[in-house]
Amino acid sequence: MAIILRLDRVMADRKMSLNELSELVGVSNVNLSKLKTGKVSAVRFSTLNAICKALKCQPGDVLEYIEDDE
């Protein structure tokens, strides 16, 4: 099972920088950068909610499930 973060794609579609999103969401640039690059193992619902509100998107726009070949 693999969950892929597509935050970078949604931000590019909205032409929003990491700094702008950080200010709107109230999360540090470092933490958002880790989310953007997929270097996290968990995301708080409150953070996901704030990201979706700021980017005017759905959680499914930011998260994608890809089944592993087993």
User: Does residue 61 register a pLDDT over 80?
Assistant: yes
Distances (CA, A) of 68 to 3, 25, 30: 10, 32, 29
What's the total number of domains in the chain? 1
User: Does residue 67 register a pLDDT over 70?
Assistant: yes
List the CATH number of the domain containing 15. 1.10.260.40
The residue segments making up the domain with residue 31 are 2-66
pLDDT digits (tens, 9 = 90+) for 27-54: 999 999 999 988 988 999 999 999 999 9
Beta-bridge mates of residue 5: 63
Q: Coil, helix or strand for 63? A: strand
Global pTM value: 0.88
